[in-house]
Amino acid sequence: MRFLCISLLLSISLLSLLQPALSDLPIHCLRSQVIGEWTFQITRPQIFQNYLDTSCGHYAPDDAAVSYLALRDEFQPHMEFKFTLGEDYNVIGEGADQGSWTMMYDEGMDINVNNQQFLAFFEYYSEPNGKVMSYCGKTIVGWYHNLDSGEKACFRAEKILKDPSEKEGLYGVPLVQVNIVQPGSDFDEYLSSNLLQMREKAYSRKISHMRTSKARRSLDHNANVAEINSIEGKHWKAGVPENIQGMSMIQMNMMAGRRKNINGHLHGSRPSLKSENLKTVDVSDLPKAFSWKHILKPARSQGNCGSCYVLSTLQMIEARLKIKYDVDVELSAQHVLECSYMNQGCNGGYPYLVAKFASEFDLVPKSCSRSQKAQKGGCGSCDISKLDETYRVASYKFVGGAYGKTNEREMMLEVMNNGPITTSFEPSSEFMYYKEGIYHDLQDSWIEKKEKQPEWQRVDHSVLLYGWGETEDGVKYWEILNSWGPDWGEKGSFRITRGSDESAVESMAEAADPIIIRKNRDEIAS
């Protein structure tokens, strides 16, 4: 899937059957499927003057309905070589070439070998029966960048199979999107299957009828809030934010994101195995409380644009510019939404790819392009040549070094040492009504269940994590800024349980090191 307050356009043949939805590329691949030897082909590398000339046939913003077709029939390979992607995130190339790699959530892979970067999404397509499938043994056309020479090119890659029978295990599974705000039968079944576990919680909870009742479907906010607040043992309270009053289901789903429902067996995934010896990471040597709240700007509102991934990343970069240079700037979300061909604009994307965009192309002040849209052909509305300075990132990463290696301790250290980070999680329907307190879902996390860490976890919404704390009775929590405006939650922020990977909030976090580019382009602020 792709997550984040987003829109899933499966393919041209399916567009007439879908309402605007929330998620981006319809891909689901796992790291265990990707590990192994691959053949890479790249076009002739060269220096490009125009940013959009490096798109490799993708629109800006990208369009999931046609992204898989980008340069497919026009690709002209100039050279070919092989890389082996290792289980420990290392890359071994031909000769002495070595490097590192990471999954891009469940949609693609990012590889760095000898200062050469390769980023691409896995292949996806629509079957005659309408199902959208992904194939994890091949990529669509992606982007190559030589960091030393500045040359760029397009590339594609295909996994080398030792036996033809391996191909079957490289297919993803059909994807279906499930509403968060108004669950359908899939979610009702999901809820019923977890009913027993929810009743066995340490504290008493009522199973709310709001997810299936007529009141739920008609968005009776006050009734929903009353139901949530009647659940005993919670550490948080619900309310009806002013900006949610009168919202339609479509508007609320656009703001919240959607869950991806996966039909069938996840090839390459390992079943959850109970382990009584499982322990969380040790953070006893770190402060019980820490916060960058004092340097943050007020919460922004993404409105009906699925731009949480952009806002959270820009606010992370803004905060770190303040910490590093004492620079106070508000960056333009529209510029990123319209100019990035790696994300889908208001239909969603990844913080990681916003940071990658900022490593290669300029970020600009909000004053240069104010509105928050994502129109095709809109890139260039800001005349960068007239700006005294712009902003980029010198480096970016998944906290922990790769997707799947993030945890509570790594997040705390990154925040404390370098500033706020972006993180993503899967908000439940009741989260929309969060008002105050320490949020937790109605279901246990994998840590609370004492299960092994999943290879992949669903996330739908990106936010800015800026601190943490602990209550007098020992409840640990994160401090997080949302993108639903200052009237939501605790003045636009919320607290959520820390150390238990609540709602997958500790599964995928990103950080970047920002720099200032002076007008003559030869001067970089140190």
> How many degrees, rounded to 5, is the angle at CA 51 between CA 143 and CA 42?
25
pTM of the model: 0.83
Helices (H), 74-217: 185-193, 195-199, 214-217
Beta-carbon contacts of 444 under 8 Å, excluding residues fewer than 6 positions away, are 197, 201
> pLDDT tens track of the chain, all 526 residues?
444 463 322 222 222 222 222 345 789 999 999 999 999 999 999 998 887 889 999 999 999 889 999 999 999 999 999 999 999 999 998 876 789 999 999 999 999 999 999 999 999 988 888 788 899 999 999 999 999 999 999 999 999 999 999 999 999 865 554 443 433 333 333 323 332 233 233 323 333 333 333 334 446 788 888 888 888 777 889 888 877 676 666 566 666 654 444 444 333 332 332 223 334 789 999 999 999 999 999 999 998 888 999 999 999 999 999 999 999 999 999 999 999 999 999 989 999 999 999 999 999 999 987 655 555 556 877 888 889 999 999 999 999 999 989 999 999 999 999 999 999 998 777 888 899 999 988 665 545 555 566 666 778 899 999 999 999 989 999 999 999 999 999 999 999 999 989 989 999 999 999 999 987 655 566 5
DSSP category for residue 171: B
Among candidates 461, 144, 412, which has minimal Cα distance to 286? 412
3-state secondary structure 302-333: CCCCCCHHHHHHHHHHHHHHHHHHCCCCCECH
Q: Which amino acid is at 219?
A: L
pLDDT value, residue 335: 93
Q: Which amino acid is at 471?
A: T
Alpha-carbon 173 to chain mean position: 20
| 147 token code pair | 């960091």
Residues of the chain with CATH 2.40.128.80: 12-172
- Cβ pair 160, 94 in contact under 8 A: no
φ/ψ (deg, to 5) at 274: -65, 140
Beta-carbon contacts of 124 under 8 Å, excluding residues fewer than 6 positions away, are 25, 26, 27, 68, 132, 133, 134, 135, 140, 172
Number of residues that make up the chain: 526
pLDDT value, residue 70: 94
3-class secondary structure, 190: helix
Q: What are the C-alpha distances in Å from 118 to residues 101, 102, 144, 152?
A: 9, 11, 5, 10
**CATH 3.40.50.300 given to domain 12-172:** no
pLDDT value, residue 400: 95
Beta-carbon contacts of 319 under 8 Å, excluding residues fewer than 6 positions away, are 292, 295, 296, 419, 420, 464, 466
How deeply is 30 buried, as exposed, middle or buried, from its count of CB atoms within 10 A (0-12, 13-18, 19+)? buried
Alpha-carbon 282 to chain mean position: 26
Among candidates 371, 342, 380, 370, which has minimal Cα distance to 358? 342
Cα–Cα dist 248/100, whole Å: 45
The CA dihedral of 243, 244, 250, 253, to the nearest 10 degrees, is 100
| 343 token code pair | 């994300």
Q: What are the C-alpha distances in Å from 143 to residues 64, 71, 108, 155?
A: 17, 11, 12, 6
Beta bridge partners of 510: 398, 422
| 110 token code pair | 């990012």
Cα–Cα dist 277/109, whole Å: 32
- Cβ pair 428, 417 in contact under 8 A: no
